Amino acid sequence: MNKRSYLKTITLSACLLATSLQGQVYDLKEQSFDNPEFRARFAKSYIAESSTNPNITAEEKGLFDEIVPLIGSDPKAAITRLSSSLGPDSSAAFDYILGNLYYQEGQGELAIDSYEQAVKKFPNYSQAYYNMGRAYVAEADYASALKSLQKSLSIETGDGTIYGLIGYCYLNMDKPSTALDAYKVAIMLAPDSKDWKLGQLQCLIALERSQEAIGVLYEFIKDDPSKADWWKLQANQFLVVDERAKAAANLTVVKDLGKADGPTLALLGDLLVNEGLVEPAVESYIDAMAKGGARPGRIIEVVNSLIYMDQIGSAKTLLSNLESSMSSDLDEKQQLSVLNVKARLAMQEDDTDGAAGFLADMVKKDPLNGGALLSLSELEKKRGDLAKAEYYAENATKIDGYAHQAFITLAQLNVGKRDYEAAAKYLREAQQIDPKDYVADYLLRIEQAALRM
């Protein structure tokens, strides 16, 4: 495996980025009294007149004329006046108006009760069912909202909003396929609504129809290229379909917009390093560390990968930044990993003294670190100190998982001293732990050499 293909096998450390549409259904922005257009549309519902809305008597006209000015100027006074005047024989229109007043004042349960009274008096009251559905949505009772909205549709043809709310209910009820059908109708009837396009997008993501979601996000990005969430969401979908280069390009835009947080920068680093773009990847990781979005363990993995790629300068830069910015975040295991990385870097630069020092520090911190003991044994052998090499290998024989290799190392050290009997003894120990054909062949040759002595 060459270094390029090895790098491609690195698993991305970061999960899909958290955005406003990840993990939960988005909040409705257009269907809120904070939206002036919604307030204007809702105000019109007070005076709707059709065959599906009740009339008021001539006697009730006085109350109606008194209430209408209060709706905009003093809704609390209108509620007080209406609630004291309604009875079983009063027009359903007043129960409906009272429901609207409660709804716009944020009193959802009282609004629903009033709408219920309205439809009991006038069962064909489409607008009352419609607004009751809205109130149930505000109360997060999506099953009841769906029934009310569907009842309204059975009485009277609906607009884009009612289909959008139906889609929203199905989406919150974890039925994204059905929700998507409703959103398609909503968008056809209200093509400028961002709420329903967001709903469509979330359905596509939930249904794992990533290519379609990517297409919708192109439209969002075109309409608002400065909104980082659209670029990040599209990057998520590119990752789902394994188009990592495109995901990296999107996250680079987020970074250039100055809106990349730590996790975004860390993921961008992963993507860039997988594409072999080492310098920008290191820059991204450093920025991620500065913003607290990088995991120390992942940075150590990347440094090891860079060493394998012979990118020693970049590895040292990244390691230096890890130690300067995140040293207090390193747990004991990660501290040992940093020492191991330093030893690897020293060995890459033929600094055996430095490497031995780092490995010795590892053994001091973790006397049962078999890998460090065996590496120390090999380094001391290179430095010509066979006594130390044997000492470290002997210590490694006491550690599960390393004893087999430690006995072979001891055998090789004794072959170097032409002590074939000792070498054969160590090979037999290795065979008792984990019999290997190649060790058996080696043992046979050593035994033959011992006989010739």
Residue 135 · residue 108 · CB < 8 Å: yes
Residue 183 to residue 442: CA distance in whole angstroms: 73
Residue 330 · residue 370 · CB < 8 Å: no
Residue 100 · residue 110 · CB < 8 Å: no
Residue 406 · residue 373 · CB < 8 Å: yes
Q: Residue 312 is encoded by which pair of tokens?
A: 């020693």
pTM exceeding the 0.85 threshold for the entire prediction: no
Residue showing tokens 């835009």: 253
pLDDT tens, position by position, for the chain (453 residues)? 344 433 433 344 444 555 555 556 667 766 655 566 655 555 556 555 445 578 887 778 888 888 888 888 888 988 888 888 888 888 999 899 999 999 988 999 999 999 999 999 999 999 999 999 999 999 999 999 999 999 999 999 999 999 999 999 999 999 999 999 999 999 999 998 999 999 999 999 999 999 999 999 999 999 999 999 999 999 999 999 999 999 999 999 999 999 999 999 999 999 999 899 999 999 999 999 999 888 999 999 999 889 888 899 999 999 999 998 888 888 888 888 888 888 888 888 888 888 888 888 888 888 888 888 988 888 888 888 899 999 999 999 999 999 999 999 999 999 998 999 999 999 999 999 999 999 899 889 988 888 876
pLDDT of residue 84: 84
Query: What is the dotted CATH code of the domain comprising 48-157?
Result: 1.25.40.10
DSSP characters over 344-387? HHHHHTT-HHHHHHHHHHHHHH-TT-HHHHHHHHHHHHHHT-HH
Residue 23 to residue 15: CA distance in whole angstroms: 13
Domain boundaries, the chain: 48-157
Inter-helix orientation angle 194-206/210-223, to 10°:
150
- Of 82, 107, 96, 106, give the one whose Cα is nearest residue 130: 96
Q: Residue 143 is encoded by which pair of tokens?
A: 């099953």
Residue 180 to residue 62: CA distance in whole angstroms: 46
Residue 196 · residue 187 · CB < 8 Å: yes
Residue 49: Cβ within 10 Å count: 9
